Amino acid sequence: MAVIEFIAQYGGWSWIVFGLILLALELAAPGVFLVWLGAAAVITGLAAIVSGIGAPLQWGLFGVLSLVLVAGWTGYQRRRFGKALPSDSPMLNRRTARYLGREVALAEAIEGGVGRVRIEDTVWQVTGPELPAGTVVRIVGAQSSVLHVEPVGSS
């Protein structure tokens, strides 16, 4: 109840302070959510100062603005990017997909359809045609953690 009494006592200025606090929290915990609630609070504070609306209308305005701003941003994001939001690391959980097209030398010969390659600090199991160790191969596919390779120069 202290929040309600504080807002009733200071009116629009309390909304502006609350909005600025939410905007500051957005800097500490990014996610582009608190920014819309902070904007709604600042707009509510400005409306309360300019028009002198009462506390119940202030809360209603804040609620409506919050919903409109969050829904508007979400709708904009969906129109812009579709269902999948962009990522700065799209291959983060798809390690094998990062290696497609890469050329590496076999660490162990492919015998019986199975061999090994070393990529950076990891040894990967590979499948492909019979090839001796040291042959340069191109990674052409992957299934789970097994890479599919073919010798460089073949298609």
Buried b (16+ CB within 10 A) or exposed e, 108-133: bebeeeebebebeeeebebbbeebee
Q: Which residues contact 65 (CB under 8 A, 6 or more apart)?
A: 39, 40, 43, 44
Q: How far apart are CA 50 and CA 138, in angstroms?
A: 68
- pTM of the model as a whole: 0.51
**Tens of pLDDT, residues 56-109:** 888 899 999 999 998 998 888 888 777 665 666 666 667 777 888 999 999 999
Q: Where are the domains of the chain?
A: 2-81, 96-151
CATH placement of domain 96-151? 2.40.50.140
Q: How far apart are CA 81 and CA 66, in angstroms?
A: 22
Bridge partner residues of 123 (DSSP): 118
Q: Supply the pLDDT for residue 43.
A: 93
- Whether the CB-CB separation of 91 and 97 falls below 8 Å is answered with yes
